[in-house]
Structure 1
Amino acid sequence: MSGITGWVDRQRDLTHEGGAVAAMTAGLVRGAHGDRHWHSPHALLGHAADALEAPAAQPAVAEQDGRPLAAITFDGVLDNSARLRAELGPAGPSGALDTDAQLVLHGYLRWGCAVAEHLDGLFAFAIWDARSSELVLCRDRFGVKPLSYLPLPHGALFASEAAALGAHPLAGNELDAEGLCALLAQVRRPGHSVLRRVREVRPAHLVRLGPEGVREHRYWQLRARPHTEDLASTIATTRGLLEEAIAREAPGGSPAVLLSGGLDSSALTALVAQGVAAGPRTFTVSFGESAAGVPDRPFAQAVVDHVGCAHQEVLVDPATLTEPATLAAVLAAKDFPSPFGDKNLTPYLFYRQVAAHTPVALSGEAADAVFGGLISDQERAATEHRTFPWIERARAFGLANGIGNDLFDPELLRSIGFTGFCAERYQEAREEVPHLPGAPADDRRAREIDHLHMTRLYEQAVNHSERLAAAAGLQVRFPFSDHRLFDYLYNVPWRMKSFDGRDKSLLRTIAADLLPAAVLDRPKVPFPITYHAGYKQSLAERLREVLTDQDAPVRPLLDLAKAWQVVDDPRRLDRGGWLGRADTEMVLQLDGWLRARRIRPAL
């Protein structure tokens, strides 16, 4: 949850330009425990430390005869540090290999860009290679750690957050039609940000920016392979892979777990408990008596009693959800607007309280995608698919343009080509899906949905949690996101993933001897939202303020008549449960983002 920034230019002398990168580093939401910078004539690197590292540890530099060979700024945590240290030896050009950053830098000097293939964990890093005048940017296999960059004629700017990138005077905050489509669809063209000219390092990719231009290299990808194990062996292999993933992610052998009482977090808690002498420490979010419509407390308590956890219930006061400071902090943490409202606010406030007790916690996020929990029998059996599954589900509730977009002007959506943008992104995503020749139709569709969720919807799950937690000062790790586990399960036939007629059959079977029956049989439920009357009232009031402000940047984008209907009749916020509220949330978030970043859409 640290942050990285930098500016390289192969022709311009940057000796006296440190203030620009310092401003970028200061603009990071991530890493609130001190920052440092490294300067050379053609490269400036910045680093903001998290609670688990010493601020003086980065950026790290490798030298020879007093001259720098390369320097690195690194965000993340490696799961295989001990193995790398053994492979690389006790010391590198800059001395002892005590930190993950030093290990990656020394690995780069040994293996070059192939170093990415040697790394396990969640990471994003930038290396300035003084020998070749090349900037190397890299991101973990699922892109959990963020990293954006802006190519320049003779170099680049980069930062963990697009907002920090925008703090540099050479970076423009320009939103064009494609960027607005990407915001509203919550899906981007691979490698592109929502802002014009800004790029994102793609998951499992390494980007080289040097004298030869911009070159991308993909160092890992899913592959379709025949599955040869029977059901019993599949269950055993899956459990072994999951236990190994948990062991790699468990800091100090006694990790904290974020427990909701659902199958995913409960199974994670029970498996963690097997490897610790005392029960793991667990945290559950609560709204008190004004709770959400999905009470987690009884199920979480059942797990705590069964496993023997040191448990703490974290109370989130619904009144804090509408505080301006909270709204601004969450928007900054996410870096871009979204329609998820208190589904963003509540986790941020929850993580902030958990961070007061532990610097690291494990989460059950990603289990749905990994274990096939996001595909219904109807979706698997359907013969015609025109868009992403989550947009199709929204349309089933009457939301023609997906979640959160019902208050935007239909003519605007037509003029920016929103429908065509979504269709192009969907076709693009489908073409990436690895299939086995001759695979049954239901297996092909199951693979497709799993792949779409892991490569496109992941940002609304794991990445969403990582960014909110990082801003709150908590490092969250995701054992279900282990690439070995997903690579294996991706090739398990659908009939095995749902062998007992239910979703996530494999995970439920693995946890069958570890959890109470009530938890095992609990239907899947979404993250809880507040139904506090004051929160809905606040949404209507804030929307009224936007509509009456002639200078509100989002106002020209709206169907004003429809938006006023929500203000005049707040019961419309309840349409489709949470979905009716998402339309207003997206308008308010987009308006706040445009104001905070001083962006005027150029459409």
Structure 2
Amino acid sequence: MSGIAGWVDRGRDLTREGAAAAVMTARLVTRGRHGEALWSSRSAVLGHRADALDRAGAQPAVVREDGEPIAVITFDGVLYNASELRSLLASDGRRGPLETDAELVLRAYLRWGPAAAERLEGMFAFAVWDVRESALLLCRDRFGVKPLSYLPLPEGVLFASEVAALAAHPLVSTELDAEGLCSVLAQVRRPGHAVLRGLREVRPAHVVRFGRDGVTERRYWALEARPHTQDLAGTIETARGLLDDAIAREAGAGTPSVLLSGGLDSSALTGLVAEVAGGAPRTFTVSFGDSAAAVPDRPFAQAVVERVGCDHREVLVEPGELTDPLVLDAVLAAKDFPSPFGDKNLTPYLFYRRVAEHSPVALSGEAADAVFGGLISEQERASAGHRTFPWIERARTFGMAHGIGNGLFDAGLLDELGFASFCAERYQEAVDEVQHLSGAPDDDRRAREIDHLHMTRLYEQAVNHSERLGAAAGLQVRFPFSDHRLFGYLYNVPWRMKSFDGRDKSLLRTIARDLLPASVLDRPKVPFPITYHAGYKQSLTARLRRLLEDPGAPVLPLLDLSAAQRTADDPRALDRGGWLGRADVEMVLQLDGWMRTRQIVLAL
């Protein structure tokens, strides 16, 4: 795990500005806790902060010719096709090591230029400073698992893995305008835009080049609509082969570890890993010390462990840990922006921290829902005329007019901000990206749209959420189901095949049929377990009351104070819709904490 940062400015002598770059790099501590390094020249500074177990190598890495640097890289991530790249680059005539992922990517850039991105397999974000051309290249993996934001400058650019690192630079203004606030509350952003005013994000599967001739942006991969010509048996065989290949690449050598919840996705992954790796994996399951999880996962996970023969460990999260101020601050820092998910953030962080004591890398079953069509209900697939995202529609069925976590914000203010219009515009923007085959049935068109929406817009609340929390906890979490070949293939499989037996994720159930107990195969989808411990809910209302009593709380101008006070006085409001009622409080508390720690200024 690591974080990257840097500064290019042709109008300044950056050899004199080392303090600002060093502060940015130091703020990447949530992604790398054990060391940092800077490379600097007159026009560019590249920084890197790493975890002790980071295997990308010493960074920033430099390639020299005649003793002079010609290119420098700072890299965050892991390559899954390192051996193939090493073979290709060994004959390029250049001298120098090709041992680490950072060195491989830098040499790939020197050989193929920006087109090198298309040859990289893995999860990554990196920056290359080309000394010869006085140009900076920023790049992000196909699904944007690794984060990377930037701020264009008149004669250059600032960039970093975390917005917190950018916010530490004197040239960055931490202003939250109407669009930024809508982005936070909707949990959806305009493509390429960050939450704070003026900040941008490198879009997934994009390279952005900053040269003397200006800024250019290029997409190097996209989901494409293609006819599906295989029958059901062939489809199952192909999907299994692609999944096996993804697991083999991401598991690497040795005995892999798997995060096992007892649900279909993680259980199928566990069984497949055992077959692909030729031995049972280590598995880890989270449980609560007060036995108050909403769904009893333990029997299902245990059934998988017994069937596969895993080396299994159960990780216990005690109720008091979920209210520890240090844990609350660590999770907010790890996520880099507020969200309404509360202990759905806290529990994985604590879980990953314990797993990291045994293993530096673990495989996760996340993204299987989007890949195998597990997020589409029959009603959503059959309906037409949608005007917003499916997850906002679902929240409305629980009386949440503005989506999850927004029930305590001033409705009049949201109208003034144009929140509904913002969501509608972002939705239409997303739908317009979807390619359709001519003559495709309506159910296939709708299923394709929902798959695309979840993978390109909701993904950040799942896979990116886990990557950030894992990095902060010292655990590299990998996601075999998010392999671009697998998703690109299944994206074009007709809906009738994805649910050929009348159930969701029919293909995955069939692939795992001989690997898992029937109880797990037949288990309906359940959410990540949350605690219903009374102490946690009491903590939420107590924190809300303290916030309402603080006239300097930065979030106060945004709230419906009467509604917030009623919730603080009556904890029963937290139980609306299961965990959804308390999401309203979680969002207020996280937004307030984020605005305080980042010194956010409202510019509405």
1:415/1:240 CA distance change after superposition, 3 Å: same
C-alpha deviation, 1:275, in angstroms: 2.8
- Name the structure 2 match of 1:254: 255
C-alpha deviation, 1:600, in angstroms: 2.1
- Name the structure 2 match of 1:450: 451
Scaled by the length of structure 1, the TM-score of the pair is 0.99
- Quick one: distance in 2 between partners of 1:290 and 1:169? 48
1:277/1:441 CA distance change after superposition, 3 Å: closer
- Quick one: distance in 1 between partners of 2:487 and 2:578? 32
- Name the structure 1 match of 2:498: 497
The more displaced of 494-503 and 252-261 is 252-261
- Name the structure 1 match of 2:415: 414
- What is the percentage of aligned positions where both structures have the same residue? 75
Whether the 8 Å contact between 1:48 and 1:55 is mirrored in structure 2 is no
CA deviation profile, 1:361-397 (whole Å, cap 9, x unmatched): 0000000000000000000011220100000000011
- Name the structure 1 match of 2:21: 21
CA deviation profile, 1:376-423 (whole Å, cap 9, x unmatched): 000001122010000000001110000000100011101111011000
- Quick one: distance in 2 between partners of 1:288 and 1:237? 42
- Name the structure 2 match of 1:88: 89
- Quick one: distance in 2 between partners of 1:597 and 1:309? 43
C-alpha deviation, 1:56, in angstroms: 6.7
Whether the 8 Å contact between 2:186 and 2:423 is mirrored in structure 1 is yes
1:55/1:524 CA distance change after superposition, 3 Å: closer
Q: Secondary structure at the match of 1:96?
A: coil
Whether the 8 Å contact between 1:469 and 1:476 is mirrored in structure 2 is yes
C-alpha deviation, 1:55, in angstroms: 8.9
- Name the structure 2 match of 1:522: 523
The more displaced of 10-19 and 223-232 is 10-19
C-alpha deviation, 1:94, in angstroms: 6.2
Whether the 8 Å contact between 1:282 and 1:311 is mirrored in structure 2 is yes
Q: What is the 5 A alignment of 1:279-428?
A: 279-428=280-429
Q: Secondary structure at the match of 1:387?
A: coil
- Quick one: distance in 2 between partners of 1:57 and 1:469? 21
Q: What is the 5 A alignment of 1:22-101?
A: 22-28=22-28, 29-53=30-54, 57-89=58-90, 93=94, 95-101=96-102
Q: Which amino acid aligns with 1:15?
A: T
Q: Secondary structure at the match of 1:101?
A: helix
Q: Secondary structure at the match of 1:509?
A: helix
1:149/1:244 CA distance change after superposition, 3 Å: same
C-alpha deviation, 1:254, in angstroms: 1.5
Whether the 8 Å contact between 1:62 and 1:93 is mirrored in structure 2 is no
1:99/1:56 CA distance change after superposition, 3 Å: closer
C-alpha deviation, 1:293, in angstroms: 1.2
Whether the 8 Å contact between 2:56 and 2:75 is mirrored in structure 1 is no
- Name the structure 2 match of 1:198: 199
Whether the 8 Å contact between 1:90 and 1:96 is mirrored in structure 2 is no
CA deviation profile, 1:523-571 (whole Å, cap 9, x unmatched): 0000000000000000000000111111100011000000011011110
- Quick one: distance in 2 between partners of 1:537 and 1:92? 66
- Quick one: distance in 1 between partners of 2:413 and 2:91? 60
CA deviation profile, 1:207-261 (whole Å, cap 9, x unmatched): 0111122210000001100000000000000000000000000031421000000
User: For structure 2, which runs of at least 5 residues remain unmatched after alignment?
Assistant: none
Scaled by the length of structure 2, the TM-score of the pair is 0.99
C-alpha deviation, 1:292, in angstroms: 1.1
Whether the 8 Å contact between 2:381 and 2:446 is mirrored in structure 1 is yes
- Quick one: distance in 1 between partners of 2:422 and 2:389? 12
Whether the 8 Å contact between 1:8 and 1:42 is mirrored in structure 2 is yes
Q: Does 1:7 align with 2:19?
A: no
CA deviation profile, 1:122-180 (whole Å, cap 9, x unmatched): 00000011111111000000000000000001111100000011111111111100000
The more displaced of 34-43 and 520-529 is 34-43
Whether the 8 Å contact between 2:339 and 2:587 is mirrored in structure 1 is yes
- Quick one: distance in 1 between partners of 2:564 and 2:270? 44
- Quick one: distance in 2 between partners of 1:261 and 1:53? 29
- Quick one: distance in 2 between partners of 1:310 and 1:75? 30
1:383/1:534 CA distance change after superposition, 3 Å: same
- C-alpha RMSD over aligned residues: 1.1
- Quick one: distance in 2 between partners of 1:53 and 1:531? 36
C-alpha deviation, 1:93, in angstroms: 4.9
CA deviation profile, 1:331-360 (whole Å, cap 9, x unmatched): 000000000000000000000000011000
- Name the structure 2 match of 1:582: 583
Q: Does 1:549 align with 2:550?
A: yes
- Quick one: distance in 2 between partners of 1:342 and 1:78? 31
C-alpha deviation, 1:277, in angstroms: 4.3
- Name the structure 1 match of 2:472: 471
Q: Secondary structure at the match of 1:315?
A: strand
Whether the 8 Å contact between 1:292 and 1:529 is mirrored in structure 2 is yes
User: For structure 1, which runs of at least 5 residues remain unmatched after alignment?
Assistant: none
- Quick one: distance in 1 between partners of 2:8 and 2:532? 49
- Quick one: distance in 2 between partners of 1:152 and 1:92? 37
The more displaced of 52-61 and 221-230 is 52-61
CA deviation profile, 1:111-132 (whole Å, cap 9, x unmatched): 0100000100000000011111
Q: Does 1:128 align with 2:123?
A: no
Equivalenced residue count is 603
- Quick one: distance in 2 between partners of 1:465 and 1:94? 38
Whether the 8 Å contact between 2:259 and 2:365 is mirrored in structure 1 is yes
- Quick one: distance in 2 between partners of 1:251 and 1:510? 22
- Quick one: distance in 2 between partners of 1:200 and 1:395? 29
Whether the 8 Å contact between 2:56 and 2:77 is mirrored in structure 1 is no
- Quick one: distance in 2 between partners of 1:599 and 1:111? 41
Whether the 8 Å contact between 2:56 and 2:101 is mirrored in structure 1 is no
Whether the 8 Å contact between 1:540 and 1:570 is mirrored in structure 2 is yes
C-alpha deviation, 1:268, in angstroms: 0.2
